[in-house]
Amino acid sequence: MEPSVTVQALFENMHFKLVTGENGLNRKIEVSDLSRPGLELSGFMNYYPEDRIQLFGMAETSYLESLSSAKKRALFDKLCTPRTPAFVIARSLPAPTELLEIATERGIPVLSSKLKTTRLSVYITNFLETELAPIKTMHGVLVDIYGIGVLIRGKSGVGKSETALELVQRGHRLVADDSVEIRQLDGITLIGRSPKLIEHLLEIRGLGIVNVMDLFGAGSVRPDKKISLVIDLELWDAEKQYDRVGLEELTTAICDVQVPKITVPVRPGRNLAVIIEVACMNFRLKQLGNNAAQTFNENLTREIKNKTNN
């Protein structure tokens, strides 16, 4: 099923003024692109993107003022189609009477905003791209650690929520527990957030469900976060060889985006919260070009070469 958002949601989020078409606020918007119908107003309708929000600025309204009422009525008769979500007028400019009459008749909302056209188009596009982005739900915990969005994954009972609780106690912020809704923006950015039903909640076995914001304050949670790192928790396997130096850089695919991944083995005595904190600090250093494992490997190689030559 293709994602969609209603005109009502856009209307409420952008704080528009409803000029007409209240009955059409339930119309669906299925594309994030906008249309400024300049060519269409001149009569060229071969490529009219009727499924987009139609945005009118100073140029469009000024041109319309030069047309006769009959000409405007003929144009809006073609622009107001069953697939047209809504018309948006920028700068609080007056909407043409002919548009209001035909839009009212066909149940198409006409909205007005005080913002300038360029800024308004950016805000609308950003909102629609977020709402219409592909969504994937994953089992895990999302925490903001030192500004890095960390998705902690692992089998049920491995200790994800308990680790998140300790991280919150250490000053970090919870985004989602158990279920993470992930939206893919602009093809490369993953934004995770919690389903509304379980927002701010942590499930701790033996303790039950706790509300993190109520316990630790508003600063202990955030509504969403870009996912920059994945940490997989798995029970310690004595037969498995784990990376001890850190030269191996693994990634995992989420919504067709490759995200850096670290596997942390779990066994009694290991403080997972501290390990994850250090992993985040080390991840940030690597992004700044300071790779301790690579530096160690280069120094070791140089030392071996010097001893061999001697």
Q: What is the mean pLDDT of the chain?
A: 91
66 labelled as ligand-binding? no
* Range of weakest confidence among 17-21, 112-116, 127-131, 240-244: 240-244
Clarify whether residues 278 and 151 are in a common domain. Answer: yes
Clarify whether residues 102 and 185 are in a common domain. Answer: no
269 labelled as ligand-binding? no
210 labelled as ligand-binding? no
Which residue in 15, 244, 267, 307 is the catalytic one? 244
Distance CA 153, CA 272 (A): 13
Clarify whether residues 114 and 170 are in a common domain. Answer: no
156 labelled as ligand-binding? yes
What pLDDT sits at residue 76? Answer: 96
Q: What is the pLDDT of residues 200-232, one digit of tens each?
A: 999 998 899 999 999 999 999 999 999 999 999
Residue spans of beta strands (DSSP E) within 188-238: 189-193, 201-204, 208-211, 224-235
Which residue in 178, 261, 284, 286 is the catalytic one? 178
Pairwise pLDDT comparison (76 vs 245), residue with the higher score: 76
Clarify whether residues 45 and 146 are in a common domain. Answer: no
Q: Is residue 304 part of a domain?
A: no
Distance CA 77, CA 60 (A): 16
DSSP 3-state of 48 = coil
Residue span of the structural domain in which 21 resides: 5-132
Residue 292: pLDDT band by 50, 70, 90 thresholds? confident
What pLDDT sits at residue 298? Answer: 73
What pLDDT sits at residue 289? Answer: 83
Are the C-beta atoms of residues 161 and 177 closer than 8 Å to each other?
Answer: yes
**Model pTM score:** 0.74
Domain end (from 97, 132, 167): 132
Domain end (from 103, 132, 161): 132
Pairwise pLDDT comparison (64 vs 295), residue with the higher score: 64
Amino acid making up residue 209:
I
Which residue in 139, 170, 205, 305 is the catalytic one? 139
278 labelled as ligand-binding? no
Residue 157 has pLDDT above 90, yes or no: no
42 labelled as ligand-binding? no
What pLDDT sits at residue 303? Answer: 80
Q: Is residue 305 part of a domain?
A: no
Distance CA 163, CA 262 (A): 16
Clarify whether residues 185 and 85 are in a common domain. Answer: no
What pLDDT sits at residue 240? Answer: 80
Distance CA 50, CA 34 (A): 10
244 catalytic, yes or no?
yes
Residue 70: pLDDT band by 50, 70, 90 thresholds? very high
Which residue in 36, 160, 173, 200 is the catalytic one? 160
